[in-house]
Amino acid sequence: MTRLHAAVEHAARDLRLAARGLLRARAFTASAVLTLSLGIAGTAVMFALVHAVLLRPPPVREQDRLIVAWKAYPAGGFDYAPFSAADIDVVARESRSFERVAGLSRHGAWPGVAVERDAASHLSTTCVTGSFFATLGVAPLLGRALEHADDVAGAEKVLVISHGLWQRRYGGAPDVIGRRVALSDPPFRIVGVMPPGLDYPVGVEGWMTVEAQVSLTGTLREAVRQENVLLARLRPGVTREQAGLELQGLVGRLEVERGGPRGLTVVVRSFDDVVVGDVRPAMLVLLAAVGLVLLIACANTANLMLVRGEARRSELAVRAALGASRGTLARQLLAESLLIALAAGLAGLLAARGALPLVLALVPGGLPRLEAVRIDATVALVTAALALVSAALAGVAPALFAARTDVASRLRSGRSHGAADAARGRRVLVVGQVALAVAVVAAAGLLARSLLRLQRVDMVLDADRLVVVALAFAPAGEKEAPMPPRFHDEVVTRLRGIPGVESATPVNNPPLAGVSGWDAPRSRAEGQTVELARGNPSLNVEAVYPNHFRTLGVPMRRGRAFTADDGPKAPLVAVVSADVAQRFWPSQDPIGKRIRMGLEDPDEPWRTVVGVVAPIRYRDLAVARPTLYVPAVQFIETPQAYLMR
């Protein structure tokens, strides 16, 4: 007990002496604290992101037993084919690998407009089956989750909202349960609030049932039932590989029974990989980069402390001559390093707290779990640990060099052997700083080169001259006047009347919006046998309006574009990309040929090809997908935005 008391007294004395010394050297103290705090702040911000997105578990039960599955069609060049609602019912009924099975829209969170108390606002929703939350194993924070009884025809339209929406729009009010939100007429009733951290699919603010979504989509209601991702909870002891083999067998059997495309393969991934897998490598690389910056800051601080130690050698020599041991001198210098690091840690934590909202504003929209990013106790503890590590990295070597004072030579000539050691130490630190800086600059150069390559990708679109005007319609209510029949034509006319606007057109999804479009995994050209048609590639389907290709600057290779005469009651027509024409009608003129989305479905109409356009990169920069264009008025009802050129 006496030794402990003495150690505490010595430590307190060392800290008092260190504080006095740092106060006398204010310029050095400010420089060291500022240098180190910047590195700590950057690392703390990045760790807060990594902790929320990658390390903090989502509020689901036994996440390692959750899998997400979809189908791929290698023969058709299509790596993301959905499950239908009927497929999911078969899996839920017959599978022995899964404890629970659910489905959710493959299109993720979809932007829309909600009206509440005569005020309209944006609301991103997705549709799921009634067993979705039970499969996830997540309990609502308020109210109840969606249930199977909500996902049947004629059921009341109900909505479960996210914790973020509850806080932003309703201020965390407990009486949110039972409120009415008009996404359609009749409106939806809010029945539950999910806990914070549940962000699946990414960006979702409200969950509705598939049956409720079907009632909102007009002509696309059947497609909603066909476009689902399978979510399942494994039974105890079942592996992902075993589940994948069973799913593959079920899909193969359904292919034979329903006459769908042959050669579909099942893709099974863990829930964690689906939610954060795509962003994990980038975030870890960024964390490593800011870690290197922190090391550079530590080396800078160590250099400052070496210079300060060299200037204090006479003082240290006198103290050594008066009886101070090398251990005492080193301990007192380390106390200075500790105080600097603690001050830098506190300043860095405050800077990180202030910078985090700015960083979040710059984060791409696809990053999951942003709602959970905050400076919490874990981040504060990690910041404190960073400060202590920084103190060790920045202070140990300078303390050892400064404590190695040759008292006799220093008092006799003013120089000592330790000065040469300190000079060598500074050179080593400078070399280390340069090496770390080169590594950071090299990594930044690689990222810049990748960005330049992306910018040089030939999209075929006239992207530099395109402007997107977002559009969202409030749901129709009893007091609202009906939309004029030529509303969109009037909007386009007014947009074209703006000085500098050459062309304008409605679009259902803007280019590179990160929203998956509609696909036709099965398609057939007139004259093809069913077996031959099974090898056709999956087609990206774009519902477009007159003037679409002219606005985007896409060249017509043959034939014509759509016009106002291609209306709902006109003959069904289509425009195809050049790669589709080459695949379906090699060495033939595609104009006048017929194509349909389906193999033998008698209800699927034939469409006459009237034009061929250049392949473009509309959905993503990775590849120009084979595309079938159809007049929007013959396919879906309401555009979501306008493009101007």
**Distance of alpha carbon 34 from its chain centroid, rounded?**
33
Could you write out the three-class secondary structure of 242-284? HHHHHHHHHHHHHHHHHCCCCCCEEEEEEHHHHHHCCCHHHHH
Give 120 or 86, the one with higher predicted confidence: 86
Count of C-beta atoms within a 10 Å radius of residue 469: 14
Tell me the C-alpha distance between 293 and 283, whole Å: 15
Tell me the C-alpha distance between 35 and 44, whole Å: 15
Tell me the C-alpha distance between 448 and 373, whole Å: 27
What is the structure's pLDDT at 218? Answer: 47
Name the residue among 165, 169, 184, 175 with its Cα closest to residue 115. Answer: 184
Could you write out the three-class secondary structure of 299-328? HHHHHHHHHHHHHCHHHHHHHHHCCCCHHH
Each residue's pLDDT tens digit, 94-132: 999 999 999 998 878 877 778 887 777 788 889 999 999
pLDDT tier at 219, thresholds 50, 70, 90: very low
Name the residue among 433, 435, 444, 442 with its Cα closest to residue 39. Answer: 433
Q: Is the CB of residue 174 less than 8 Å from the CB of residue 237?
A: no
User: Which residue type is seen at 280?
Assistant: R
pLDDT tier at 506, thresholds 50, 70, 90: confident
Tokens of 314: 């006479």
The string of DSSP letters for 329-344 reads HHHHHHHHHHHHHHHH
Instruction: Decide: residue 156, CB within 10 A, 0-12 exposed, 13-18 middle, 19+ buried.
Output: exposed
State mean pLDDT over 16-23.
79
What value, to the nearest 5°, has the Cα angle with vertex 90 and ends 515 and 599?
60
Average pLDDT over the chain, rounded to an integer: 79
Q: Specify the residue for token string 């049932």.
A: 209
Give 93 or 616, the one with higher predicted confidence: 93
What is the structure's pLDDT at 478? Answer: 42
Name the residue among 286, 283, 292, 285 with its Cα closest to residue 39. Answer: 292
What is the structure's pLDDT at 246? Answer: 93
Q: Is the CB of residue 626 less than 8 Å from the CB of residue 77?
A: yes
Count of C-beta atoms within a 10 Å radius of residue 592: 10
Main-chain dihedrals φ then ψ at residue 437, nearest 5 degrees: -65, -40
Tokens of 29: 């103290």
Each residue's pLDDT tens digit, 528-576: 877 777 777 778 888 888 888 888 888 899 999 998 888 888 899 999 9
Tell me the C-alpha distance between 170 and 271, whole Å: 30
Helices 2-24, 326-362: crossing angle, 10 deg rounding: 70
Tokens of 141: 């924070």
pLDDT tier at 67, thresholds 50, 70, 90: very high
C-alpha radius of gyration, the chain, whole number: 33
Tokens of 593: 């040929």
Tokens of 357: 């909202």
Tokens of 406: 């040759």
Give 462 or 25, the one with higher predicted confidence: 25
pLDDT exceeds cutoff 90 at 501: no
pLDDT exceeds cutoff 50 at 225: yes
pLDDT exceeds cutoff 60 at 221: no
Torsion of CA 7, 10, 11, 17, to 10 degrees: 180
At a CB cut-off of 8 Å and minimum separation 6, what does 286 contact?
A: 46
The string of DSSP letters for 157-168 reads PEEEE-HHHHHH
pLDDT tier at 325, thresholds 50, 70, 90: low
Length of the chain: 645
Pairing, β 573-577 against β 627-631 = antiparallel
pTM: 0.72
Tell me the C-alpha distance between 173 and 114, whole Å: 19
What is the structure's pLDDT at 398? Answer: 64
pLDDT exceeds cutoff 70 at 197: yes
Tell me the C-alpha distance between 48 and 387, whole Å: 16
Q: Is the CB of residue 351 less than 8 Å from the CB of residue 41?
A: yes
User: According to DSSP H, which parts of 414-529 are helical?
Assistant: 417-456, 487-496
The string of DSSP letters for 181-246 reads EBSSSSPEEEEEEPPTT--SSTT--EEEEHHHHHTTSGGGHHHHHH-EEEEEEEPTT--HHHHHHH
What is the structure's pLDDT at 208? Answer: 92
| Direct distance between the N- and C-terminal alpha carbons of the chain, in angstroms, rounded to an integer | 81
Each residue's pLDDT tens digit, 376-420: 888 989 888 888 888 777 766 666 665 555 544 544 554 544 555
pLDDT tier at 339, thresholds 50, 70, 90: confident
Count of C-beta atoms within a 10 Å radius of residue 610: 22
Tell me the C-alpha distance between 520 and 76, whole Å: 10
What value, to the nearest 5°, has the Cα angle with vertex 77 and ends 73 and 81?
40
Each residue's pLDDT tens digit, 571-607: 999 999 998 888 888 888 999 999 988 766 666 788 9
Tell me the C-alpha distance between 53 and 43, whole Å: 15
Name the residue among 539, 508, 561, 625 with its Cα closest to residue 110. Answer: 508
Per-range mean pLDDT, top range of 139-153, 435-449, 450-464, 505-519: 139-153
Q: Is the CB of residue 528 less than 8 Å from the CB of residue 535?
A: no
- Per the DSSP assignment, residues forming a β-bridge with 56 are none
pLDDT tier at 82, thresholds 50, 70, 90: confident
Give 508 or 162, the one with higher predicted confidence: 162
